[in-house]
């Protein structure tokens, strides 16, 4: 775990704890565990709220379609002055696609940008800032937990004057990630029809893991704080991991004790996207899913290892031993 010291912040800011990194790395679980503590509000993968929630009306984590959720209805009215059905989602989606894709990370890292891009970025930044401010007001939380993972989304957030972003760069063994992408699972947020979550080949999963993790490290220079955490270390000792993430800011105190028992009590949340476990409620035992070690085809393991070895070594994973 690698930590960079935090900046001091003004009193009137909206604090966001952004879980960044690659997809299928356990971010929904970490989001739910952190969000189970008093003063934290889990919102899931907020960067897709425009398409998945406002546009497609996916299920909210509370179990009702997004447009029927009382919480998000109030957020929409406070943030944009209109009910969810009246919000101009087409413009929001267009702006996001113009400025917040992975290929725009180099532009976001620059201090000077092309005029047209900068204009769209300012308009989109205003939408984002309004959204998070309203979430904080409606929830009453001290910290919003956002498991968006997107480095472009993180770079945009980190440059907003009234948003204070603390980044947890969550890293998972890419062989476990690739194995997860090959599992067939139902996607419960698509509530109007039966649809499975997307699956992918090992080589594409490996490429995605590299493309999403490498630029995430840029957030260490722009966020209020940056912590790199291995998913496997989190599940080996949840309390120690959460203490390093949260304790320096005095956000929680003795409430971390409930994570030392390797279980957490999950309450309903208003998450907008993520792993299907975002709908789970009640007691959840925290344990490492390492089925990939015995079930992943050796050819796929070798392929993913060969493709990702530079970051495997950087993040402290063995190349061949034990796989």
- Tens of pLDDT, residues 269-291: 999 999 999 999 998 889 898 99
Q: Helix, strand or coil for residue 74?
A: helix
Q: How far apart are CA 274 and CA 280, in angstroms?
A: 12
DSSP classification of residue 103: G
Q: In whole angstroms, how far apart are CA 78 and each of 72, 91, 130, 240, 261? A: 10, 18, 8, 37, 39
Helical segments of the chain, H only: 27-35, 70-80, 89-99, 105-109, 115-139, 151-158, 174-181, 202-213, 231-236, 238-246, 292-295, 298-314
How close are the terminal C-alpha atoms of the chain, in Å? 22
Average pLDDT, the chain: 90
User: CA geometry: angle at 47 spanning 43 and 48, to 5°?
Assistant: 95
Tokens 């929630």 belong to 53
- Residue 111's pLDDT is 83
CB 52 within 8 A of CB 156: no
Helical segments of 36-85, H only: 70-80
Q: How far apart are CA 154 and CA 6, in angstroms?
A: 16
pTM, 2 dp: 0.91
Nearest to 231 by CA among 170, 180, 159, 140: 170
Superfamily of domain 11-314: P-loop containing nucleotide triphosphate hydrolases (3.40.50.300)
- Residue 322's pLDDT is 53
Per-residue confidence band for 3, with pLDDT thresholds at 50, 70 and 90: very low
Helix, strand, coil % (nearest 5) of the chain? 50, 15, 35
* Six token digits for residue 293: 């070690």
DSSP classification of residue 145: E
* Residues counted in the chain: 323
Q: How much of the chain exceeds pLDDT 70, in percent?
A: 92
CB 274 within 8 A of CB 27: yes
Mean pLDDT, range 20-30, rounded to an integer: 96
Q: Helix, strand or coil for residue 168?
A: strand
Q: How far apart are CA 58 and CA 278, in angstroms?
A: 13
Mean pLDDT, range 221-231, rounded to an integer: 95
Per-residue confidence band for 5, with pLDDT thresholds at 50, 70 and 90: very low
Residue 106 contacts by C-beta under 8 Å, 6 or more apart in sequence?
none
Name beta bridge partners: 65: 59
Which tens digit of pLDDT belongs to each residue from 39-59?
A: 999 999 999 999 999 999 999
């Amino acid at each position: 775990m690698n930590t960079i010291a935090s900046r001091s912040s003004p009193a009137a800011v909206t604090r966001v704890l952004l879980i960044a990194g690659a997809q299928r790395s356990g971010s929904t679980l970490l989001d739910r565990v952190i969000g189970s503590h008093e003063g934290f509000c889990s919102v899931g993968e907020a960067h897709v709220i425009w398409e998945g929630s406002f546009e497609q009306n996916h299920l909210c984590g509370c179990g009702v379609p997004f447009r029927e959720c009382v919480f998000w209805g109030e957020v929409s009215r406070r943030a944009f002055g209109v009910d969810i059905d009246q919000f101009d989602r087409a413009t929001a989606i267009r702006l996001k696609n113009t400025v917040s894709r992975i290929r725009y990370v180099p532009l976001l890292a620059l201090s000077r940008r092309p005029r047209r891009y900068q204009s769209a970025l300012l308009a989109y930044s205003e939408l984002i800032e309004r959204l998070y401010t309203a979430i904080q007001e409606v929830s009453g939380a001290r910290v919003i937990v956002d498991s968006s993972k997107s480095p472009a989304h993180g770079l945009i957030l980190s440059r907003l004057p009234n948003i204070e972003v603390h980044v947890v760069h969550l890293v998972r063994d890419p062989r476990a990630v690739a194995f997860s992408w090959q599992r067939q699972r139902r996607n419960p947020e698509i509530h109007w029809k039966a649809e499975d979550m997307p699956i992918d080949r090992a080589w594409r999963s490996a490429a995605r893991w590299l493309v999403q993790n490498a630029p995430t490290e840029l957030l260490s220079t722009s966020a209020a704080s940056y912590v790199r955490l291995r998913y496997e270390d989190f599940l080996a000792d949840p309390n120690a991991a959460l203490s390093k993430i949260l304790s320096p800011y005095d956000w929680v105190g003795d409430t971390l004790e409930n994570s030392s028992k390797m279980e957490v009590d999950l309450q309903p949340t208003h998450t907008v996207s993520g792993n299907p476990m975002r709908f789970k409620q009640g007691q959840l035992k925290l344990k490492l899913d390492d089925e990939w070690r015995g079930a992943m085809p050796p050819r796929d393991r070798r392929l993913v290892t060969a493709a990702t070895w530079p970051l495997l070594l950087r993040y402290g994973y063995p190349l061949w031993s034990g796989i």
